[in-house]
Chains A and B, each alone.
Chain A
Amino acid sequence: MKHSFLDKYSDLDSAVHRIDARVKALCALGMIAAVVTTPVERVLPFAAYFAILASVFLLSGIPLRHILARLLIVAPFILLFAVIAPFVPHYSGEAGHRVGVLGLRYYPSGITMLISVTAKAMGGVLCIVALTSTTPFSELLRALERLRVPKFFLALLSFAYRYLFIFIDEFERMKRARDARSFGGKRWWHMQVLGRMVGTMFLRSFERGERVYGAMAARGFDGAFRSIRPLRIDAGDAATGAAFAALVAAAWLAL
């Protein structure tokens, strides 16, 4: 079971990792809000955001490779957008320049829009990576619980997270078994095999869910979730959070 790729590097030890999860969650949310609401025309705030994120990553010791790999996720959206954006007017009354092909017109505001949207999408991803790569998922869930996210939903998330690894492993095993029998499953008429794999997986997950509940009920599960490790915000955490918020706010307002 080697699926630590989900919240990989969250078990490292660094100044960033040691900050209370609630502080980090709020900082990340605040920063994403700032990134997304920064007006399209402004460039400097984005430079500041990326500088802040870069210093967080430097402090946390997360490898650059990992960060870049996560950034690739937004690539399809941005590439498609990059093809279209220059030819779409983003402000009414914009004149645009004739390109001469297919009656297309080129609008300079499209480029501004492209840069801004790319920066926003990447900023969002980097904030999420910074949060989840420095906070173990279980702690993040407890932080969210304190931040008043419904417990039932968090319980659902924590179960899903716990069994994810097992199911991914099982599914990989099943695929390996299929491939070993040289079936391939590479053509559309092999869909039925895929469907049966999914069906089998569902049955296993469903029955496992029932067993898990049975085991929990036998150990006195009453619907409440308890934890022995208390969350604690010390003065340093609070100061760090406040400083971070001030930096982001300054970038948004002043630049």
Chain B
Amino acid sequence: MHIPDGFVSAPINIAAAAASVAVIGYALKRTGEFLDQKKIPLLGVVAAFVFAVQMLNFPVAAGTSGHFVGAVLAAVLLGPFEAVLVMASVLVLQCLMFADGGITALGSNIFNMGMVGALVGYVAFKGLRAVLPGNKSGMLAAAAIAAWVSIVASALSCAVMLGASGRYPLELAIPAMTGVHALIGIGEGAITAAALALVTAARPDLVRALRRSGGGEGEKPAVAGAWGFATVGLGVALVLAATLSPFASGDPDGLKKTAIEESARQIAEAAKAELSRPEVSRITISANPAVAENLEKENGAPRAILAPAGADALEKIKIEKSDEMEIFAGRIEATDASGATRVREFEQQGQVWKHSPIPDYEAGPGKSNFIKAGLAGLIGTLLAFSLAFAVVNMIRGRKR
């Protein structure tokens, strides 16, 4: 799941890195504020533990194997934000030491495996704790399921990043990644539960979950109630998101259309600039079919840009549809009276969105977008819940 350099587009990388930096910054501040410097060696040593344990391969069906990740184990034993710090340091070390995961993709990797892995897993754990019996086996079951959720959520987030960057079709990436990781997640869940059982037996004082709800603290019922409410809310929201968002999506091709219009507009602007040079006698625009069509539109923006140049100026322009235009949106050739030619090429605009998993004129209407929108809704909801969780925690932390 470690994404190398060059696989995720820059905007996604930057957004993920910004989110990671924000959460790590918050986690550092929180750890620094509420706890003493004792946490530094402790978290560092636990990060070393996670790194070592990630070398543990376990068998998955069909001869493949996965490795233990440990995000939920760390979150349950140390706390969610401490777990984010631990996972982030492990990922930085893996990136630097093994070149496992690219430096520019580090933000995305920390987002997927650190933040989504630890925070979504922890939210799931807390929610399940409120629903399942409060005894030890209830806690272990909650941890096991949460570990599974965390792995699948990380894989989903990773697949969406790769798909949205146009590297793999989403319809392929999402089932492939989540399918494999749904299996790997079972191993993760089993190992997390077994490890937690051992720690609970040997050092029950270390298990935060037991300590928190272990009586003595007056706020327990209120907290449990809030978590139960959050779980039910999350469940309802997820069902709604998965079933309703396909209907809610208005024009799935809107972004692609915008990209074509933007390319046509740029080409028109450039053609206008060329027209303003008196020595230019002829302009040939070759553009890929979609862009060329847009350029020729009677009422389109490109016409509006070119119109002031006058009808005789427009005579000089010839628009060709070119099937060879695969990489560029189009090319302008301006020929002078002397015969000299100036060529300018235009890249397709809207790089992130330009790619459509299945060319829309071939796939059955709406089918693929249906799945996509549902999944997008699911992921959006999960992310929104994690964010809300972080914010609520921040406020609660301040009050203390």
The interface of chain A, by Cβ under 8 A from chain B, is: 6-7, 28-29, 32-33, 35-37, 39-41, 70, 73-74, 77-78, 80-81, 84-85, 88-96, 103, 105, 107-109, 112-113, 116-117, 119-121, 123-125, 127-129, 131-132, 137, 140, 150, 152-153, 155-164, 166-168, 170-171, 185-188, 191-206, 208-210, 212-213, 216-217, 221-223
User: Can you list 23 A-B pairs with a CB-CB distance of less than 8 A?
Assistant: A84-B169, A94-B326, A120-B6, A128-B95, A150-B28, A157-B44, A157-B89, A159-B44, A160-B45, A160-B48, A185-B58, A188-B186, A191-B187, A191-B191, A194-B191, A195-B195, A198-B53, A198-B70, A198-B195, A199-B198, A199-B199, A210-B38, A217-B38
- Tell whether B214 is near chain A: CB-to-CB under 8 Å: no
Q: Across the interface, do B46 and A125 meet the contact criterion of CB distance under 8 Å?
A: no
What separation, in Å, do the CA atoms of A178 and B289 have in the docked complex?
65
- Tell whether B251 is near chain A: CB-to-CB under 8 Å: no
Chain A min CB distance to B187 (Å): 6
- The total of Cβ contacts below 8 Å across the A-B interface reads 298
Q: Across the interface, do B41 and A212 meet the contact criterion of CB distance under 8 Å?
A: yes
What separation, in Å, do the CA atoms of A197 and B68 have in the docked complex?
12
Q: Across the interface, do A167 and B49 meet the contact criterion of CB distance under 8 Å?
A: yes
Q: Across the interface, do A121 and B89 meet the contact criterion of CB distance under 8 Å?
A: no
Tell me the count of chain B residues lying within 8 A, CB to CB, of chain A.
Answer: 92
Chain A min CB distance to B222 (Å): 30
B175-216 interface bits toward A, Cβ cutoff 8 Å, 1 = contact, 0 = none: 000000000001100111111111100110010000000000
Chain A residues, Cβ within 8 Å of B40: 152, 155-156, 159, 213, 223
Q: Using A105-B359, A171-B53, A194-B56 as known contacts, say yes or no to A36 and B10 having CB atoms under 8 A apart.
A: yes
- Nearest neighbor of B101 in chain A, beta-carbon distance: A73
Chain B residues, Cβ within 8 Å of A36: 5-6, 10, 102, 104
Q: Across the interface, do A157 and B92 meet the contact criterion of CB distance under 8 Å?
A: yes
What separation, in Å, do the CA atoms of A213 and B70 have in the docked complex?
23
- Nearest neighbor of A119 in chain B, beta-carbon distance: B6
Chain A residues, Cβ within 8 Å of B53: 167, 171, 198, 201
Chain A min CB distance to B77 (Å): 7
Q: Across the interface, do B100 and A209 meet the contact criterion of CB distance under 8 Å?
A: no
Chain A min CB distance to B65 (Å): 10
Q: Across the interface, do A171 and B52 meet the contact criterion of CB distance under 8 Å?
A: yes
Chain B min CB distance to A208 (Å): 6
- Tell whether B93 is near chain A: CB-to-CB under 8 Å: yes
Q: Across the interface, do A128 and B96 meet the contact criterion of CB distance under 8 Å?
A: yes
Q: Across the interface, do B51 and A160 meet the contact criterion of CB distance under 8 Å?
A: yes
Chain B min CB distance to A141 (Å): 10
B344-361 interface bits toward A, Cβ cutoff 8 Å, 1 = contact, 0 = none: 000110000011110100
- Nearest neighbor of B49 in chain A, beta-carbon distance: A205
Chain A min CB distance to B365 (Å): 15
For B44, give its contact among A32, A128, A163, A170 (CB under 8 Å). A163
Chain B residues, Cβ within 8 Å of A113: 167
- Nearest neighbor of A90 in chain B, beta-carbon distance: B355
- Tell whether B280 is near chain A: CB-to-CB under 8 Å: no
Q: Across the interface, do B96 and A35 meet the contact criterion of CB distance under 8 Å?
A: no
- Tell whether B385 is near chain A: CB-to-CB under 8 Å: no
Q: Using A96-B359, A188-B59 as known contacts, say yes or no to A202 and B4 having CB atoms under 8 A apart.
A: no
Chain A residues, Cβ within 8 Å of B102: 32, 36, 121, 124-125, 128
Chain A residues, Cβ within 8 Å of B92: 157
- Tell whether B90 is near chain A: CB-to-CB under 8 Å: yes
Q: Across the interface, do A192 and B93 meet the contact criterion of CB distance under 8 Å?
A: no
The interface of chain B, by Cβ under 8 A from chain A, is: 2-7, 10, 24-25, 28, 31-32, 37-38, 40-49, 51-53, 55-56, 58-59, 68, 70, 73, 77, 85, 88-90, 92-93, 95-100, 102-105, 166-169, 172, 186-187, 190-199, 202-203, 206, 256, 259-260, 288-291, 323, 325-329, 347-348, 354-357, 359, 362
Q: Using A127-B103, A213-B38 as known contacts, say yes or no to A88 and B357 having CB atoms under 8 A apart.
A: yes
Q: Using A70-B99, A77-B7 as known contacts, say yes or no to A163 and B48 having CB atoms under 8 A apart.
A: yes
For A152, give its contact among B28, B56, B196 (CB under 8 Å). B28
- Nearest neighbor of B165 in chain A, beta-carbon distance: A117
For B56, give its contact among A94, A157, A158, A197 (CB under 8 Å). A197
Q: Using A128-B95, A156-B85 as known contacts, say yes or no to A198 and B46 having CB atoms under 8 A apart.
A: no
Q: Across the interface, do B194 and A194 meet the contact criterion of CB distance under 8 Å?
A: yes
What separation, in Å, do the CA atoms of A163 and B244 have in the docked complex?
49
Chain B min CB distance to A3 (Å): 10
What separation, in Å, do the CA atoms of A29 and B38 have in the docked complex?
32
What separation, in Å, do the CA atoms of A119 and B7 have in the docked complex?
11
Q: Across the interface, do A167 and B48 meet the contact criterion of CB distance under 8 Å?
A: yes
Chain B min CB distance to A211 (Å): 9
Chain B residues, Cβ within 8 Å of A121: 4-7, 102
Q: Across the interface, do B6 and A116 meet the contact criterion of CB distance under 8 Å?
A: yes
Q: Using A152-B28, A206-B42 as known contacts, say yes or no to A198 and B359 having CB atoms under 8 A apart.
A: no
Chain B residues, Cβ within 8 Å of A90: 166, 326, 354-355
In order of increasing CB-CB distance, the 4 nearest A-B pairs are A195-B194, A159-B44, A120-B6, A124-B5
